[in-house]
Amino acid sequence: MSRKPLAGTTKPAPDIDFDLGANLALPRRAGGSQWRQPPSPSDSVINAATVGWMKQLPPELAPVELAIQYPRILNRLARFWDIPGMIHEYFEDLLFAKRPRRRGFAPNVKSEIIALCNHYRTLNPIDPLSSSDLWDEVRESAKAIAPADRKPRP
């Protein structure tokens, strides 16, 4: 069977035979984690924005070991620092194992991450009285639209 050329080329599209009954398991990446993003060239170096962010930290909090061993993680911390939802989730992902057989960080790296987390929480305390969840909003909306004389269900 003759195939049409791919858009923008003169080469015909390759014949690909998909076996729909085949096991389509994802291959494991190096290091045993199929969840990690593929490495990018910027993962192995600290970027300029991260250097600027590090200069704003108190000197005693400088994450030296983290910078040496995990520049990718340090770049993400710097990128997420001003996004409360992201930074909280990222600290949680770093500090609490959610993946099976995760090796964890060396004690000196983990202590730097904890120190950064504590510093962030000192700068941006969470007010427990102002936090609400989706269900609080649903309840408030239901109260607003419910007739005043209607009795709640038992």
What is the C-alpha separation between 138 and 146, in angstroms, rounded? 12
The answer on pLDDT for 115 being more than 80 is yes
What are the pLDDT digits (tens) for 117-142?
999 999 988 755 555 555 666 666 66
Per-residue confidence at 10, pLDDT binned at 50, 70, 90?
low
User: Residue 12 pairs with which residues in a beta bridge?
Assistant: 5
Give me the pLDDT at residue 112, please: 96
Torsions phi, psi for 5 (to 5 deg): -65, 150
Position 69 scores a pLDDT of 94
The answer to whether residues 35 and 99 touch, using CB atoms and an 8 Å cutoff, is yes
Between CA 45 and CA 68 the distance in angstroms is 9
Helix 48-56 and helix 71-80, axial crossing angle in degrees, nearest 10? 70
Of 75 and 9, more confident: 75
As a whole-number percent, the residues of the chain with pLDDT over 90 amount to 40
C-alpha distances in Å from residue 17, one per residue of 9, 14, 44, 112, 124: 22, 10, 38, 50, 55
Domain definitions of the chain by residue range: 41-126
CB distance 109 to 65 below 8 Å: yes
State the average pLDDT over residues 82-110.
86
Q: For residue range 29-83, what is the model confidence (pLDDT) as tens digits?
A: 444 455 566 777 777 899 999 999 999 999 999 999 999 999 999 999 999 999 9
The Cα–Cα gap between 147 and 140 comes to 13
C-alpha pair distances (Å), 41 with each of 38, 47, 71, 134:
10, 11, 11, 40
When mean pLDDT is compared over 13-17, 20-24, 75-79, the highest value belongs to: 75-79
